[in-house]
Amino acid sequence: MSTPAQRDFTLEPSDSERLANLAGPFDENLRQIELRLGVEIANRGNIFRVTGPAEAVDSTEKLLHSLYEEAADTTFDSHAIHLRLNTANVDHVVERAYAPQDVAIKVKRGTVRGRGANQSKYLHQIATHDINFGVGPAGTGKTFLAVASAVEALNESRVQRLILVRPAVEAGEKLGFLPGDLSQKVDPYLRPLYDALYEMLGVEKVVKLLEKNVIEIAPLAYMRGRTLNDAYVILDEAQNTTIEQMKMFLTRLGFGSTAVVTGDLTQVDLPKHVKSGLRDAIDVLRDVDGVSFTFFEARDVVRHPLVARIVTAYEKREASDRETGVAP
C-alpha cells in the first residue's frame, strides 16, 4: 500500500458556477471521485485538500484540474463523472494504492453495511467497477448486497431501471411439468430476487415499479439481442449459465450501466459434461481492467451459524475427494 499523503492546491480561476458544476449537488460528484480513488477531498471555495495514498492523491489532483477546465462549458452529472473516471483509467492506481472505504447503502429498511472484510470489499468493488463477480457459498450476502446496491442506485437516479436475471435451469425438477404459462413456470426460479426487493422497497412499491417496467425480472434467455443502457443488471445463480450464455450476458452492457454476477460453484445444476459459464469467466476475465471479483468463504456466511459449519463440512469432503481422485 502506498504511503499516506496530503496535497493542497488551488483551482484557477476562482469561479463559483464552475465549482458548483464540478462538485455536483450536495458534493455528489466529489463523493463519487473519493469513493472511486480511495481518497478524502475537502475544499473551501476553490482551495482543495486531498488526503490518501500518494499515488491516488496525484491522480485525484490531475483529475480535478482537468474536470475544472471542462466545467467551464460542460455540465457534469454522475454519469459524466463516471465516464471521465473510466477514461482516466484510475482503477489500476486504486488497486495498488488504497484500503477499501466503508460503503453504507441507504434503503427503506435503513442502512446496509458489509459484515466483515469480504462483504465490505464486495460493496466497494460494486461501487467502483462496471462488472462485478461475487462468488461463494449460500448465505454470504452476495445477492442481498447486490440488490441493495441496485436499489440505492435506482433511488438516487444513477440508473433508470433495474434488471434482475436468473437462468431457468432445472435442479432435478422438470420445468415443463410446472403448472401455468411460461411466466408462471419461471417465477419460482426468480422468487429469491422478489424477496430481496420486497425487503428493500416494500411490496407495494415493487409492484408499481414492475408495472412501469422500471424493475424487470427475467430469465436469462430474454437478454439475447438487447443493449442495456443506464441500467443496473444482476445475474443471480450464474453457476448455472453455459459459457455462451455468460458471454451473451456480459456483452449486453451499455453506457451508464453496472452488472453484478453472483453464483456458487459448489451448486452447479448443469449437465455433467457442460462447463459452468461462471467458472469459465473467472478464468478468462480475472485480469481484465474494470472487472472485479470477490470470493466469499464459509466464514462469511451470515445465516444460521449451523449453515457455515455445513458449508465447511462439504468443502472438506470436496477437498478430500480431489486429493484422492474421487469423482464428485
Report yes or no on 9 lying in a domain: yes
Same domain, 51 and 196: no
Domain count, the chain: 2
The answer to whether residue 311 is domain-embedded is no
- Cβ–Cβ < 8 Å for 53, 3: yes
Half-sphere exposure of 163 (CA within 13 A, CB side): 25
CATH assignment at residue 237: 3.40.50.300
pLDDT higher than 60, residue 174: no
Task: Please tell me the distance from the alpha carbon of residue 18 to that of residue 46, in angstroms, as a whole number.
Answer: 10
Please check whether residues 141 and 195 belong to one and the same domain.
yes
- Please tell me the distance from the alpha carbon of residue 312 to that of residue 125, in angstroms, as a whole number: 26
CA distances from 214 to 155, 169, 185 (A): 11, 25, 22
Same domain, 8 and 58: yes
- Structural domain range at position 264: 112-301
Helix, strand or coil, per DSSP, at residue 162: strand
User: Is residue 89 in some structural domain?
Assistant: yes
Q: Judge whether 312 lies within some domain.
A: no
Q: Summarize pLDDT for 31-69 with one digit per residue, the tens.
A: 888 887 888 999 999 999 999 888 888 889 999 999 999
Write down the pLDDT at residue 325.
Answer: 65
pLDDT digits (tens, 9 = 90+) for 4-26: 789 999 999 999 999 999 999 88
In a domain, 172, yes or no: yes
